[in-house]
Structure 1
Amino acid sequence: MVEELAQADDAVAACVDAAAWSLPEHDLIAALDAAHRLQQRLAAVTLTLVREIDGRGTARAHGASTTAVWLRERLRMTVPAARRLVDLATALDTGHPGIRHALADGAISLDQARVIADTATTVHRTADAETADKAVGVLVEWAGQFDPTMLRRMGTRILDHVAPDLADAAAAAALAADDARATRDRHLTLSTQTDGRLRLTGILDAETAGLLRAAIDPLTAPTGPDDTRSSGQRRHDALADICRLALRTGELPDNGGDPAQIVVTTSYDALTQQLGSGALDVGLQLTPDTVRRLACDAAILPAVLGGAGQVLDVGRQRRLLTGPMRRALVLRDGGCAFPGCDRPPRWCAAHHIRHWADGGPTNLTNSVLLCGHHHRHIHHSKWTIRLGDDGKPEFVPPAWLDPDQLPRRNHYHRRT
């Protein structure tokens, strides 16, 4: 298979720089159809490989918590997209081979295959396997005429065509399935931009969407005729108001042993001279004016850094790996430090690089943040941890995984 895929890769590579402008229109369209068909066939191969990798437990053997997380690191895709790929690979392997065959033939697209699999699963819950197979056949035929959105809409009444006596029950089951998908696909992603701003993307389920609108709508109205903010800017400011209100209640859960709070990092020189620019513990940069404004409205915990970025002092509230020392660890690692993991600090515990039971000290140079999964993995595997020359943690894989045992680092929490 590897050799065949390599030959296919060479063939496709030869087409990348081909002079498409010189093709007659009918050849241009034929080439587009052929490329699309090839894309779907490769998708079928990918699903087969994903299913095998998932079944073997390859992801956990490599230290990842799930196959979706492993795919994110290996193929540079988002976890939600990887999870959908794993789910579809499982569905096509265990219950709907007809969909896989249609995809392998290039008769349907990957998105259409996902819609048909979801619909067939819903039908199977209401009827039997034979009826589900009939539904698959009808939907595959319809896929030649309709895009995934229309196909999903038509699939809600598929039993009208293959089992009319079960149609009403299937409609109720489809509604429940849509709700389950909304619950499964819900997510919120916070992405730090290169200029220090934060980009919010995600999908809210119906209940959460209602809660957000109920909370945000009263705060988005223009404040008067002089309010020149756009509607998007008003929603942004309303979200900030909601966060301030939540922080003021004092009812939020602790975050890694500390109350919910803002931690501002500044340099030693800026602190001794005057409060200058700073950075939040999540890596976002703040202007001097913003820092001064926050100082009037919030309890700021100073984290003082030396010239090389080394943590000199984070207060004297508590000892051990809580309070100030934990905040220093969060500032250094940013989250779970295991390569490829994006778990935030609140999901992490402090791990002794040299175990405490073996005489390892409790300090920053002997500590690293690890999420629950990777904390257990480190204790039961041959991975070793050390601090690099810059004081940042790096992980040496076991020889069976990498014979050269090249050190690896986590790049998801880098601030620069």
Structure 2
Amino acid sequence: MVEELAQADDAVAACVDDAAWALAEDELVAALDAAHRLEQRLAAVTLALVREIDGRGTARAQGASSTAVWLRERLRLTVPAARRLVDLAAALDTGNPGVRAALANGDITVDQARVIADTVATAHTTAGAQAADKAVGVLTDWASQFDPTLLRKLGTRILDHVAPDIADAAAHAALEAEARRASRDRHLTLSTLSDGRLRLTGVLDSETAGLLRAAIDPLTAPNGPDDPRTPGQRRHDALADLCRLTLRTTDLPEHGGDPAQIVVTTSFDALARQLDAGTLDTGFHLTAETVRRLACDATILPAVLNSTGQPLDVGRQRRLITGPLRRALVLRDRGCAFPGCDRPPRWCDAHHIHHWADGGTTNLANAVLLCGHHHRHLHHNDWTVRLAGDGHPEFIPPAWLDPNQIPRRNHYHHRT
């Protein structure tokens, strides 16, 4: 087998260097079909090898805690992907020769094989071996027409075709099986990149997916027709808003004896003069402008150091706009005060109009409520904010936007 796979590898390597642009259109499509078919047949070989390695206990013999962990190191897979590979290999080896043969022939894809194996297992449990055998044939035929997602939906009613007398009872069992699979496959991976950013990957179960969508969808709407953010950037900012809101609650458990918070370390000179200095408690750096913006937020714990590196002020959030002062600010602004914004108070930061690092005081006359988006916007653009004679905030647009720089107000929260 090793020699034959080496020959196949050489053949595929030769194709990599071939000029696809020189193929006629029918040859191009035929080559794509052949490559895809070969990919599925190789997957069948891979699954057979994984099953044998798992059955022999090779992973544990080599010091790994499980075959999935061993595959992660050997093939550089994620553990959830490796676990799904092991599970599918076992499913095809025990009671699914028809599915294994269809994959080996290139008639179905790996994802379709996983759907068919799951569906057939449910059919076997609820209706017996004969119904399961019929289900393999029906689902394999459907696989030539439908993608894995639609195939799974159709599979929830497979017993209507192979055992109609028990289909209703089986539909309930299939729903429960789907719930178990969703619970089994749920995961969230947080991968720290070299520059401090975080890559999120994962699969949410249906309930959690519904919770996330319900929470995040209202926050992803564009801020007007001129919002330059992409949909992905809006979802990113919505997730940040959710995190800020959560940190403002008192319901989170303590972490290491402290309330849930992030810590930013900087020197006072860097903060006051806006030099490029600031470090998260995770060890990654931030610009001083970002630190100044974060310092407005009561969920951030700034640790300000003097010139010798000694802590000057830790726990600065106690001097920010909290308690009765924040309640007074909410009563005055009723939400984000930026013109045209409708975000409610719970989504807002208390921003110092005259920054505290520049000598600004912490009082109602030096504060304004801003949502996360407009808080960032104010710190990174040429807008300015002040309190008018009646004590309400007004915003001065930059000259490039309005040459007359006529002050603007938020009228959304004061319509009633």
Normalised-by-shorter TM-score class = 0.5 to 0.7
- Separation of aligned partners in 2, 1:165 and 1:234: 50
Structure 1 residues 275 and 114, CA, compared in 2 at 3 Å: closer, same or farther? same
Matched, 1:2 2:15: no
Structure 1 residues 53 and 254, CA, compared in 2 at 3 Å: closer, same or farther? farther
Matched, 1:81 2:85: no
- Separation of aligned partners in 2, 1:292 and 1:178: 48
Q: Which one has a bigger Cα radius of gyration?
A: 2
Matched, 1:131 2:162: no
Bigger mean CA deviation after superposition, 171-180 or 107-116: 171-180
Structure 1 residues 57 and 302, CA, compared in 2 at 3 Å: closer, same or farther? farther
Q: CA deviation at 1:107?
A: 2.0
- Separation of aligned partners in 1, 2:56 and 2:63: 14
Letter in 2 for 1:113: A
How high is the TM-score relative to the length of structure 1? 0.63
Deviations 1:142-188 (A, max 9, x none): 32333323322322222222211122122222222222222223233
Letter in 2 for 1:188: L
Please show how residues 177-216 of structure 1 align to structure 2 within 5 Å. Answer: 177-193=177-193, 196-216=196-216
Tell me the number of residue pairs that the alignment of Structure 1 and Structure 2 aligns.
310
In structure 2, the partner of 1:299 is 301
How high is the TM-score relative to the length of structure 2? 0.63
- Separation of aligned partners in 1, 2:30 and 2:213: 48
Deviations 1:312-360 (A, max 9, x none): 9999x9xxxxxxxxxxxxxxxxxxxxxxxxxxxxxxxxxxxxxxxxxxx
Deviations 1:168-221 (A, max 9, x none): 122222222222222223233334456544343433222223333444456567
Please show how residues 315-334 of structure 1 align to structure 2 within 5 Å. Answer: none
- Separation of aligned partners in 2, 1:25 and 1:285: 52
Structure 1 residues 250 and 122, CA, compared in 2 at 3 Å: closer, same or farther? same
- Secondary structure of the equivalent of 1:299? strand
Instruction: Verify the 8 A CA contact 2:276 2:286 in the aligned structure 1.
Output: no
Deviations 1:69-106 (A, max 9, x none): 33233222333322221111111112212211211122
In structure 2, the partner of 1:246 is 246
- Separation of aligned partners in 1, 2:154 and 2:213: 30
- Separation of aligned partners in 1, 2:39 and 2:311: 54
- Separation of aligned partners in 2, 1:225 and 1:141: 48
Instruction: Verify the 8 A CA contact 2:47 2:88 in the aligned structure 1.
Output: yes
In structure 1, the partner of 2:140 is 140
Structure 1 residues 78 and 266, CA, compared in 2 at 3 Å: closer, same or farther? farther
- Separation of aligned partners in 1, 2:82 and 2:125: 25
Q: CA deviation at 1:294?
A: 3.0
Instruction: Verify the 8 A CA contact 2:264 2:301 in the aligned structure 1.
Output: no
- Secondary structure of the equivalent of 2:154? helix
Structure 1 residues 229 and 152, CA, compared in 2 at 3 Å: closer, same or farther? closer
- Separation of aligned partners in 2, 1:103 and 1:220: 41
Bigger mean CA deviation after superposition, 127-136 or 276-285: 276-285
Q: CA deviation at 1:136?
A: 0.7
Letter in 1 for 2:154: M
Aligned-pair identity in percent equals 75
- Separation of aligned partners in 2, 1:257 and 1:52: 48
In structure 1, the partner of 2:173 is 173
- Separation of aligned partners in 1, 2:65 and 2:146: 38
In structure 2, the partner of 1:53 is 53
Bigger mean CA deviation after superposition, 285-294 or 162-171: 285-294
Structure 1 residues 19 and 61, CA, compared in 2 at 3 Å: closer, same or farther? same
Q: CA deviation at 1:227?
A: 8.0
In structure 1, the partner of 2:92 is 92
Instruction: Verify the 8 A CA contact 2:267 2:304 in the aligned structure 1.
Output: no
Letter in 2 for 1:42: L
Bigger mean CA deviation after superposition, 294-303 or 277-286: 294-303
Instruction: Verify the 8 A CA contact 2:190 2:201 in the aligned structure 1.
Output: yes
Deviations 1:39-87 (A, max 9, x none): 1111011111112222333334445443333323322233332222111
Instruction: Verify the 8 A CA contact 1:266 1:279 in the aligned structure 2.
Output: yes
In structure 1, the partner of 2:113 is 113
- Separation of aligned partners in 2, 1:114 and 1:205: 18
* Alignment gaps of 5+ in structure 2: 315-416
Structure 1 residues 292 and 31, CA, compared in 2 at 3 Å: closer, same or farther? closer
- Separation of aligned partners in 2, 1:32 and 1:42: 15
- Secondary structure of the equivalent of 2:188? strand
Letter in 2 for 1:92: L
Instruction: Verify the 8 A CA contact 1:263 1:303 in the aligned structure 2.
Output: no
Deviations 1:291-310 (A, max 9, x none): 23334433245799x9xxxx
Instruction: Tell me the C-alpha RMSD between the 2 structures.
Output: 3.8
- Secondary structure of the equivalent of 1:260? coil
Q: CA deviation at 1:4?
A: 1.9
Letter in 1 for 2:176: A
In structure 1, the partner of 2:264 is 264
In structure 1, the partner of 2:72 is 72
Deviations 1:353-399 (A, max 9, x none): xxxxxxxxxxxxxxxxxxxxxxxxxxxxxxxxxxxxxxxxxxxxxxx
In structure 1, the partner of 2:39 is 39
Instruction: Verify the 8 A CA contact 1:122 1:174 in the aligned structure 2.
Output: yes
- Secondary structure of the equivalent of 1:49? helix
Structure 1 residues 60 and 258, CA, compared in 2 at 3 Å: closer, same or farther? farther
Letter in 2 for 1:299: L
- Separation of aligned partners in 2, 1:26 and 1:215: 48
Instruction: Verify the 8 A CA contact 2:54 2:67 in the aligned structure 1.
Output: yes
Structure 1 residues 314 and 9, CA, compared in 2 at 3 Å: closer, same or farther? farther
Q: CA deviation at 1:242?
A: 3.0
Letter in 2 for 1:31: A
Letter in 1 for 2:41: R
